[in-house]
């Protein structure tokens, strides 16, 4: 399994790393196709935003160069990039100077059932709620216990994803994905300023929808509004778009907007 | 620096550890005095509670035995115990079977200024708020970005601690400590069922107060009520009790209940 730390092959890191001690870092999960990282600029933009909000200095040009070299070596698969605040002593105060650590891990492409994209997936309605923390909302940081708890709620293979709501009951995202609704020909996706991960595929689909002349509204969405949607789909940077065909007793058929964006996502990940 | 992994001297761990990937684990910071871990039963009880709530199997007898052996070798200092869900592949789903990893790190006793305990400390009122997440409240888990952000808010040596409120404005705790108030001869400490870490020294002081015939109420506390308190003090399992002498323009002198519990805490940490 391909694994680099700070640009060199390595599989072990210091027990003093603040990524381990505090989850003090960020990550990106990047599809790699024929040696090329997909949606690289969007991944790097989110990483830059995370570093800014966590006050973590990072040489993004170096990260980009390493990602390109790593992807070239990986060929086809998934590159997981983690950036931590590096080693620290006991105590939350960031070390001075900060020396962030860059970790890259290669994984094979997940082999999802073809039916997930074609007929859509069944989604589990998780009881685990996302806490509302605007300071961390949108970031793909290393504090992911809520997702671990949510993913522990179902064990059958029948559900391909779990729906997460926030502690106030708003619909936010999937455990591994973002969520879109279509209603009366318009797109809608939950506001992620209180919690949730602002996915790169979500951002790309928002931009692509605009190019197609589709409006995509970003706002709070209640559970009832989700159930009343004409179409529902999930997206992430590995599988693109999966239609949602069932959620807790409600069934949907795959709709035209979902198919349109699915084709776009597939092209982005194949390029 | 003394460092063990799974009972053996080691300073490096796998980049696949879920403690790093997701903060999927727990920790304890334990004062060690003359080779003996202080408040060991309370630390292990909190760890057991955390394992139960995170559905993480852990051999607590083994952890106890390792802590005793590690402390004996450390002599005087601080033992940091981390327990993670061990290695995992990509994805939040816990691996089957789970093989939790035990990490122990030794650190010297921190050298706090004597004035902190004697005259009390000045506390910074942090802007970073704690998100309300009942599923994780009370646990000392490895998702600590909120504390990292809060600790990054002040850089002067004048403030020894930071006060943290939740997103609804309730007073919760210090960045590194729990908080008690005294008002009209009664003790009061914030309810920690929505957020915060239920410290072992807090639990011990609650029990000791009861033995002294003091009532200690646990409930929601607003910022105004904190400012109106007769006495305010902080506690943790390393320094015991520090009186609070100033917070954002409000000054206190050190009161009798604070002193009484400070003596008790000192004895617990010296034994």
- A124-181: pLDDT as tens digits: 999 999 999 999 999 999 999 999 999 999 999 999 999 999 999 999 999 999 999 9
Interatomic CA distance for residues B183 and A136, integer angstroms? 36
Across-strand partners of B166?
B130
Bond before B97 cis per omega within 30 degrees: yes
Contacting A residues, span 23-62, partner chain B, CB-CB under 8 Å: 23-24, 27, 29, 54-55
Smallest Cβ–Cβ distance between A12 and the set B15, B24, B151 belongs to B15
**pLDDT tens profile B117-141:** 999 999 999 999 999 999 999 999 9
> Using the beta-carbon criterion (under 8 Å), do A23 and B105 form an inter-chain contact?
no
Interatomic CA distance for residues B185 and B6, integer angstroms? 47
Interatomic CA distance for residues A63 and A60, integer angstroms? 5
Angle at alpha carbon of residue A241, lines to A155 and A143, rounded to 5°: 55
Instruction: Give the domain range for residue B72.
Output: 3-107
The reply to whether B42 and B153 lie within a common domain is no
Confidence of residue B270 (pLDDT cuts 50, 70, 90): confident
According to the model, what pLDDT value does residue B96 have?
87
The reply to whether B49 and B128 lie within a common domain is no
The reply to whether B36 and B146 lie within a common domain is no
Residue A90 touches chain B, beta carbons under 8 Å: yes
The reply to whether B59 and B180 lie within a common domain is no
The reply to whether B96 and B119 lie within a common domain is no
The reply to whether B33 and B138 lie within a common domain is no
Interatomic CA distance for residues A58 and A68, integer angstroms? 17
According to the model, what pLDDT value does residue A271 have?
60
Q: How far is A18 from chain B (nearest CA, A)?
A: 8
According to the model, what pLDDT value does residue B271 have?
60
The reply to whether B200 and B93 lie within a common domain is no
Segment A236-265 shows an average pLDDT of 97
Contacting B residues, span 227-256, partner chain A, CB-CB under 8 Å: none
B86, B107, B128 - which closes a domain? B107
Interatomic CA distance for residues B163 and B177, integer angstroms? 9
Chain B residues with CB under 8 Å of A168 CB are none
Residue B120 near residue B156, CB atoms below 8 Å: no
The reply to whether B128 and B260 lie within a common domain is yes
> Using the beta-carbon criterion (under 8 Å), do A15 and B29 form an inter-chain contact?
no
The reply to whether B127 and B250 lie within a common domain is yes
Confidence of residue A89 (pLDDT cuts 50, 70, 90): confident
Tokens of B9: 């001297």
Q: In the 3-class helix/strand/coil scheme, how is chain B assigned residue by residue?
A: CCEEECCEECCEEECCEHHHHHCCEEEEEEEEECCEECCHHHHHHHHHHHHHHCCCCCCHHHHHHHHHHHHHHHCCEEEEEEEECCECCCCCCCCCCCCCEEEEEEECCCCCCHHHHHCCEEEEEEEEEECCCCCCCECCECCCHHHHHHHCCCCCCCEEEEEEEECCCCEEEECCCEEEEEECCEEEEECCCCCCECCHHHHHHHHHHHHCCCCEEEECCCHHHHHCCCEEEEEECCCEEEEEEEECCEECCCCHHHHHHHHHHHHHHHC
The reply to whether B88 and B125 lie within a common domain is no
Beta strand A36-37 pairing with B178-183: unpaired
Beta-strand runs (E) in A169-249: 171-174, 178-183, 186-190, 216-219, 231-236, 240-247
Q: Is B173 a catalytic residue?
A: yes
CATH of the domain at A119: 3.20.10.10
Smallest Cβ–Cβ distance between A107 and the set B90, B149, B152 belongs to B90
Smallest Cβ–Cβ distance between A151 and the set B15, B89, B93 belongs to B93
Residue B111 touches chain A, beta carbons under 8 Å: no
The reply to whether A155 and A259 lie within a common domain is yes
CATH of the domain at B85: 3.30.470.10
Count of domains for chain B? 2
The reply to whether B7 and B140 lie within a common domain is no
A107, A135, A162 - which closes a domain? A107
The closest of B9, B10, B102 to B56, measured between CA atoms, is B102
Best mutation target among B5, B26, B81, B135 (most A Cβ atoms within 10 Å) is: B135
């Amino acid at each position: 399994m391909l694994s680099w730390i700070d640009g060199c092959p390595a599989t072990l890191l210091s027990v003093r790393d603040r990524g381990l001690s505090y989850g003090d870092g960020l990550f990106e999960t990047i599809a790699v196709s024929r040696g090329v990282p997909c949606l690289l600029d969007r991944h790097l933009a989110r990483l830059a935003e995370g570093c800014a909000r966590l006050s973590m200095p990072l040489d993004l040009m170096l990260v980009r160069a390493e990602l390109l070299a790593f992807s070239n070596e990986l060929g086809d698969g998934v590159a997981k990039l983690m950036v931590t605040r590096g080693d620290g002593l006991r105590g939350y105060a960031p070390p001075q100077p900060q020396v962030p650590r860059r970790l890259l891990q290669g994984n094979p492409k997940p082999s999802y059932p073809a039916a997930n994209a074609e007929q859509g997936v069944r989604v589990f309605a998780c009881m685990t709620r996302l806490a509302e923390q605007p300071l961390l909302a949108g970031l793909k940081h290393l504090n992911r216990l809520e997702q671990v708890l949510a993913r522990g709620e179902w064990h059958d293979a029948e559900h391909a994803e779990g729906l997460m709501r926030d502690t106030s009951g708003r619909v936010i995202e999937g455990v591994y994905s973002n969520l879109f609704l279509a209603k009366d020909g318009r797109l809608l996706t939950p506001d992620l300023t209180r919690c949730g991960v602002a996915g790169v595929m979500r951002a790309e689909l928002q931009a692509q929808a605009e190019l197609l002349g589709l409006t995509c509204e970003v706002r709070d969405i209640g559970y009832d509004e989700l159930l009343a949607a004409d179409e529902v789909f999930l997206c992430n940077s590995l599988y693109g778009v999966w239609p949602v065909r069932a959620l807790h007793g409600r069934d949907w058929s795959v709709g035209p907007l979902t198919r349109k964006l699915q084709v776009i996502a597939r092209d982005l990940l194949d390029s």
